[in-house]
Amino acid sequence: MTKFLIDCDPGHDDAIAILYAAYHLDVVGITTVFGNQTVEKTTYNTLRVLTLAGLDIPVARGCGRPIIGAAPLGDDAHGKTGLDGVDLPEPDRAPVGAHAVDFIIETAQAHRGALQLVAIGAQTNVALALRREPRLAGWLAGISIMGGTAGVGSLKPMACVNVLSDPEAAHIVFSSGVPIRWIGYETTRTVLMTLDDIARLRTGGRVARMMAEIAAWYRERQLAVNGIDGAPMHDSCTLAPFIRPGLIRYEPVPLAVELAEGLARGMTIVDRRPIPPGTRLSSVTPKAPANVEMAVAVDRPALIRDIVDTLLTY
Amino acid sequence: MSKPKILIDCDPGHDDLVAILFAAKHLDLVGVTTVHGNNTLENTTRNGLISLELGKLDDVPLAKGCAEPLAQVQLEVAAGHGKSGLDGAEVPEPARKPIDQHAVDFIIAMAEKHKEELILATIGPETNIAMALKREPRLKRWLREITVMGGSTTTGNFTPAAEFNIACDVEAAWTVFESGVPLRMVGLNITRVTGFDEADIARLRASRKRAAAVIADLMEFYLGRTRAAYGLKVATMHDVCAVIPYVYPDLITYLHTSARIETAGAYTRGMTVCDLRHPSGSAAPLLRNRTEPNALVAVDVKSRELIDKVLDTLIEYD
């Protein structure tokens, strides 16, 4: 049976994704990384979420900085703590001793061919693990990624935080040869938990009510910063293909990360030109081979309903 | 009120020809200038003259412009338009010649003559426009607006990120987009789905007009090429989309926002980086990495209505 390891930076939508995953899937570990906030804060938030839900999943703390340069944090969307708007319990546990990079490698080795990595923060840990252990790419069953965009952006006009946070890491991961499922911000920003959904969560138990507060704060902030009326479930989208296959439709595409310094640094460039295969023309650069399965359509109501239903079972 | 004055800088090209004929019927077309791009300057100039003769536009002067981009390596000719840049119809060699003035000087002269009135349409590489802006610093104040066919808010065609007109001369595009002249940009996100299908070409033929018959032959060739080369469903009328808003303002929807040209980039050189986040309302000041709006960027189109209006116009020619 497939095991899952979530590399994340909670983060409001990360918190909900962890609970969504843990109920349905065999989550064998969580690793933390900077992104929505510093790695200290995202680790603390992960531990608090697991404590709240009483989930016994090992947490390994990872990288606090990108491979190169400085990291823009996504704190405009998640606040000072990275998980503003809710009073979660203090953690009743600590991270494991191993660094996230080692933990990813060890877990993949223990579950060779059966581990799905879910990368929903900056991809620094995953990239360093791929470099540290060249066999890792062969051990992984796949990586499901939220980050980047094939359209509108978040922190930049056409770029999104998880890839902008560490473009070099994203390049390493996307070019690793591991089978990749990818969903971009242009799609996840439309998968919204609405006020009605939040009201439904408020009718649930303690965990669901806490998640309602998280979603409510996140919605308010999204409305103020991005003009989006709803809490986008960016990160849970990466889990849908394993929990409810069929809710997201994927298509193979070539994807490259722009690393050069310029307006477009940190952009994910997806080749969706409809040029017929085998076309060789001087005025059209050739299409590279597909390296990711890109999410192109989502059954939004069904996915949101499933997330809310799941949170209500806690 | 008199008709808006427009000067078209182009690289004909099948869709350029349609843009010229459409503009001439509805607007005060004060001139056509030619540039390298879809084909060599020699061929685009010849094809520009053919376009004017086809429409019997004897009063519209044509000035020949730049044969090469400002700085970069010249791209190969475009695949969609055939060897001559306007393949598909039997047309006589043009009897007319270009005027003696260079396109760059002609653009400046026309803008000075029609101060604050002239719309400059750039529907090929933007080399002539960039040169004119550098040559005459006052040009940016003289122009009413520059309307650009180029770029994309989504996918490109030359590369995944870059559209051909911009890719042909990225530094020229940068110069135009950073000029401060009010810009209107219609990109591939709109024009890729706006074009003629077989029924439209049949309608041109059924009109039994001389010009429409020639255009139908041209478009049949072009439709075949756009399908085979680019995998598109229609003979894309990219260029006329830059002219449409001055005749039918409701067919294309624009967003006033920032559109910038990426000049660096291993994968993105020549990309139009457009800010489609939320440029209006209270949210805007909270957005990071925001730059001042410099363009009206086309984000939606009524393709069918637009194409019908273009067909109506082409059929008006004898």
pLDDT in tens, B16-53: 999 999 999 999 999 999 999 999 999 999 999 999 99
Confidence of residue B283 (pLDDT cuts 50, 70, 90): low
Give the mean pLDDT of chain B.
95
CA distance to partner chain B, nearest, from residue A154 (Å): 7
Residue with tokens 């242009």: A186
Q: Provide the ipTM.
A: 0.89
Query: From B154, which residue of chain A is nearest by alpha-carbon distance?
Result: A151
pLDDT reported for residue A184: 98
Query: Who wins on pLDDT, B86 or A70?
Result: B86
* E strand or H helix that includes residue B24: helix B14-26
Cα B145 to its chain centre, rounded Å, is 14
- Are A128 and A101 spatial neighbours (Cβ–Cβ below 8 Å)? yes
- Are A122 and A82 spatial neighbours (Cβ–Cβ below 8 Å)? no
* Greatest alpha-carbon span in chain B: 59
A281 neighbourhood in chain B, CB within 8 Å: 79, 229
CA distance to partner chain B, nearest, from residue A311 (Å): 30
Distance CA A198, CA A308 (A): 8
Q: pLDDT tens across B223-233, in order?
A: 999 998 889 99
Torsion angles phi and psi, residue A288, rounded to 5: -75, 160
Whether residue B299 lies within 8 A of chain A, CB to CB, comes out as no
A269 neighbourhood in chain B, CB within 8 Å: 160-161, 267-268
CA distance to partner chain A, nearest, from residue B205 (Å): 29
Name the residue among B79, B228, B231 with its Cβ closest to that of A283: B79
pLDDT reported for residue B284: 57
Whether residue B76 lies within 8 A of chain A, CB to CB, comes out as yes
Distance CA A259, CA B265 (A): 7
Name the residue among B76, B79, B160 with its Cβ closest to that of A273: B160
pLDDT reported for residue B1: 65
Mutation to test the A interface, candidates B257, B287, B292, B299, most A Cβ within 10 Å: B287
Q: Which of B26, B9, B263 is nearest to B139 (CA)?
A: B9
Q: pLDDT tens across B126-140, in order?
A: 999 999 999 999 999
Which contacts qualify for B286-292: CB closer than 8 Å, 24 or more apart? B286/A76, B286/A224, B286/A225, B287/A225, B287/A226, B288/A72, B288/A76, B288/A155, B288/A156, B289/A155, B289/A156, B289/A157, B290/A157, B290/B258, B291/B258, B291/B260, B292/B258
Distance CA A126, CA A311 (A): 28
Q: How far is CA B172 from CA A45, B166, B274, in A?
A: 49, 8, 18
Average pLDDT over residues B296-308: 98
Distance CA A187, CA A153 (A): 11
8 Å CB contact of B278 and A226: yes
Is B285 a residue whose pLDDT tops 70?
Answer: no
Bridge partners (DSSP) of residue A268 are A257
**Token pair in block for residue A109:** 């080795």
8 Å CB contact of B229 and A154: no
8 Å CB contact of B231 and A274: yes
Average pLDDT over residues B296-302: 98
Distance CA B61, CA B125 (A): 20
* Nearest-10 Cα torsion for A189, A194, A199, A202: 0
A72 neighbourhood in chain B, CB within 8 Å: 288
**A–B interface: beta-carbon pairs under 8 A:** 131
**Token pair in block for residue A69:** 């340069």
Residuewise pLDDT in 10s, chain A (314 residues): 899 999 999 999 999 999 999 999 999 999 999 999 999 999 999 999 999 999 999 999 999 999 998 877 878 889 999 999 999 999 999 999 999 999 999 999 999 999 999 999 999 999 999 999 999 999 999 999 999 999 999 889 999 999 999 999 999 999 999 999 999 999 999 999 999 999 999 999 999 999 999 999 999 999 888 889 999 999 999 999 999 999 999 999 999 999 999 999 999 999 999 988 877 777 889 999 999 999 999 999 999 999 999 999 99
Distance CA B161, CA B262 (A): 10
**Strand pairing class (B118-122; B145-149):** parallel
Is B141 a residue whose pLDDT tops 90?
Answer: yes
Query: From B74, which residue of chain A is nearest by alpha-carbon distance?
Result: A283
Q: pLDDT tens across B210-252, in order?
A: 999 999 999 999 999 999 888 999 999 999 999 999 999 999 9
User: Which residue of the set A12, A99, A171, A234 is catalytic?
Assistant: A234
- Are B79 and B72 spatial neighbours (Cβ–Cβ below 8 Å)? no
pLDDT reported for residue A71: 76
Is B317 a residue whose pLDDT tops 60?
Answer: yes
Residue with tokens 């791009």: B37
8 Å CB contact of A284 and B230: yes
Distance CA B186, CA B76 (A): 23
**Token pair in block for residue B206:** 């059924």
**Token pair in block for residue B238:** 């990219």
Q: Which of B257, B114, B278, B72 is nearest to B177 (CA)?
A: B257
A234 annotated active-site? yes
Confidence of residue B282 (pLDDT cuts 50, 70, 90): low
Name the residue among B231, B275, B286 with its Cβ closest to that of A157: B275
**3-class secondary structure, A256:** strand
pTM, two decimal places = 0.93
- Are A142 and A180 spatial neighbours (Cβ–Cβ below 8 Å)? yes
Q: pLDDT tens across B61-81, in order?
A: 999 999 999 999 999 988 899
Q: Which of A222, A220, A294, A226 is nearest to A254 (CA)?
A: A294
Neighbouring CB atoms inside 10 A of B77's CB total: 21
Q: Which of A117, A129, A283, A201 is nearest to B226 (CA)?
A: A283
